[in-house]
A = this chain, B = another copy of it.
Amino acid sequence: MAASRAFILILFLIYHSAIGLKYNTKPEILRSLLSSGKTVENNTYIYKTKTFEVLVDHFSFSVTDTFKLRYLVNDTWQRGNNAPIFFYTGNEGFIETFAQNTGLMWDIAPQFGALLIFAEHRYYGESMPFGNKSFSDAKHMGYLTSQQAMADYIDLINYLRSDTKTKHSPVIVFGGSYGGMLSAWIRMKYPHIVQGAIAASAPILQFSGVTPCEAFARIVTSDFRAAHHECSNLIRKSWYTITNVTSSDEGKKWFKENWKLCSPLVNATHVRALKSWLSDIYGNLAMVNYPYEANFLAPLPGYPITAVCKHLVEPKLEGKPLLLALKKAINVYTNFTGKTECLSIDNAAPNLGDIGWSYQACTEMVMPMCNDGINDMFEPEPWDFKEYSDQCYKDYNIRPRLDLACTEYGCKDLSAATNIVFSNGLLDPWSSGGVFRNLSSSTSVIIIPEGAHHLDLRASNPRDPVSVINARKYHRSAIKKWIKEYRDKFA
């Protein structure tokens, strides 16, 4: 029972992001980097949950409110004085999700005698600056920024180091996806506090003028094409098939019954939402196309895209038979446990994690996305910043600052960055915005050809491809080097 509830929760989340049209004209943006929600069930790892008081606004003296930021601690392997601190820079969701899905930190903590810390990102999970008013209006939401979040982490690190036992503890940050962006950026901005960063699948170049908007969709497509050469073609064909079939009331009814939707498709908005939801699933599948059974964005078999595409091999499929095959394919994602009774398309209570990311996408994290339907398998959809901005204004009374991320953190010129490993899996659509060339003598790029979204951060697994085993070896050697460098300074 419990497993099913967790599963449905994920579904809610995904569906909610699908009907994100209400929130955002670009549903692609809502393919949130990591789904949020406390989806972890079988807690592999044990920790204490603590809180730390931080300022709502680190960059002025006009706002002096504070709030409690959550973080998780495990000191099982902390060894002696000035043990390394392995610090996960939490991203857009409950911090437990990241703690449970970042097995690498747990796997290597004993070797390094490290203290493990997982810090929750403000405005996600339970770290709400203004309690249940945090998303009530633009004024309350406005302190949800990456820079404020990093300043939280920096204050927490200083606090952790305020003990004589940890005064000179080297701090290594870890993060995947948006969390990896934060890891890279926090090292760039606070190199005097953070000694090194493992930035896994961190699309720090996924910004306007740097990465073409179509890159993400093309990688998703190539993942499906690679699983079976017809798979992406059939998905491309499915869009207008859905349009055709659902153009009549009878067709809508047929669809509802055959796809076992919990609620009927009534109008065009519902159909758009359905398509958006499917797009999200394809993107998510590409992200979590791991070689073994896992439960990150959803409980899934190993190489789930291969499992999906097994149902989409017959080039002649069209009309309702195509949609029936697609339903079976989608089932891999929506009903791997076999316990889903219907596909819920209602989500009355918006998930905070999703609102948070949608807001960030409307302020500083503007990552242009588009599809052309020719080189990718999606319905054509251009990138229209004006429309995007208008929708943000409607939703949040705010205009996106298109260049803010590159202005704050740099995009085209990162040559001053040091002590960062950027890792990217080639199966991961977010690799589109990843760093693929060494920026300087003290940053490294690790390419994992068989890797999906930050596979290297996950716990080691007998089915790991050799490339990810090597990536983790590299991480360990980089961490060793950074710790030594730091210790030499205080020796």
A-side residues, CB < 8 A to B, are 57-63, 138-145, 147-148, 154-155, 158, 189-193, 363, 398, 403, 406-407, 409-416, 418-419, 489
Contacts and interface: CB of A to CB of B under 8 A. Distances in A.
A59 B410 contact: no
A60 B57 contact: yes
Contact of A142 (B63, B138, B403): B63
A60 B148 contact: yes
Contacts of A410: 190-193
Contacts of A63: 62, 142
A410 B190 CA distance: 8
A21 B408 CA distance: 39
Given A61-B141, A191-B415, A192-B412, 12 more contacts: A58-B59, A59-B148, A60-B142, A60-B145, A61-B138, A62-B138, A63-B142, A190-B410, A192-B409, A192-B410, A192-B411, A415-B489
Question: Chain copies in the assembly?
Answer: 2
A136 to B, nearest CB: 12
Contacts of A142: 60-63
Nearest to A362: B61
Q: Main secondary structure on chain A at its contact with chain B?
A: loop
A41 to B, nearest CB: 35
Contacts of A193: 407, 410
Contact of A61 (B58, B145, B406, B489): B145
Contacts of A147: 59
List the 6 shortest-distance A-B pairs measured between CB atoms, nearest first: A62-B142, A192-B410, A191-B416, A59-B59, A61-B142, A192-B413
Contacts of A144: 61
Contacts of A62: 63, 138-143
Contact of A60 (B59, B192, B406, B409): B59
A407 B142 CA distance: 23
Nearest to A157: B407
A142 B193 CA distance: 25
A131 to B, nearest CB: 16
27 contacts: A58-B59, A59-B59, A59-B148, A60-B142, A60-B143, A60-B145, A60-B148, A61-B142, A61-B363, A61-B398, A62-B63, A62-B139, A62-B142, A63-B142, A158-B407, A191-B413, A191-B415, A192-B406, A192-B409, A192-B410, A192-B411, A192-B413, A193-B410, A415-B489, A416-B416, A416-B418, A416-B419
Nearest to A63: B142
A138 to B, nearest CB: 7
Nearest to A396: B61
A128 to B, nearest CB: 15
Contacts of A416: 191-192, 416, 418-419
A406 B192 CA distance: 9
